[in-house]
Amino acid sequence: MDAYEALITRASPVELCDPAPDEATEQKIIAAALRAPDHGRLRPWHFISIRGAGRAFLGGVLASALSRRDSNATEDALQRERKKPLRAPLVLVVAARIVESSKIPAIEQMLSAGNSRDRADAFGRRCRAKHHACQPRFGLRSAMENG
């Protein structure tokens, strides 16, 4: 699939099913993401791969963050947050480490991390959605691995 086709056919299924990319494919996805434009060569990205029980832990972190942001969050809303990471067998988190002393503005550093996520998604293959067959590409969310 060429870059143009990857851009115009990108979709976000609600749920993804196994198999997740294997570790070799995951490393290739991250290698592609590392080629994102990076003014100042700061490499502001940090990748975290989350599989298995780590996804439930991440769900707890998301629910806790929602609770801190919104003291009126309902139990239903908190439960939705807890379940989000469980919708895919692999969550790849892409985080930006902002270098404050850099001459590169923080927004450009964040955009670079976002661009790395788009590159990872374009390289990846969307897997089957839970309820219907999608194109044979793994679906990735922005993220990295936690054993």
Residues 96, 105: Cα–Cα separation, whole Å? 13
R_g of the chain, CA atoms, integer Å: 16
d(CA 48, CA 54): 11
Nearest Cα residue to 87 out of 11, 13, 10: 13
d(CA 51, CA 66): 22
Domain segments of the chain as ranges? 3-7+15-52+89-146, 53-84
* pLDDT tens-place string over residues 22-64: 888 888 888 888 887 887 888 888 888 999 999 999 999 999 9
- The per-residue pLDDT for range 68-106, each reduced to its tens digit, is 999 999 999 999 999 999 998 988 888 888 888 778 888
CA distance 95 to 92: 10
- In CATH terms, the fold of domain 3-7+15-52+89-146 is NADH Oxidase (3.40.109)
* Banded pLDDT at 17 (limits 50, 70, 90): confident
Q: pTM surpassing 0.85?
A: no
- Considering only CA atoms, which of 128, 96, 92 is closest in space to residue 110? 96
- Compute the CA torsion angle 59, 108, 27, 9 (nearest 10 deg): 80
Q: Are 144 and 49 in contact (CB under 8 A)?
A: yes
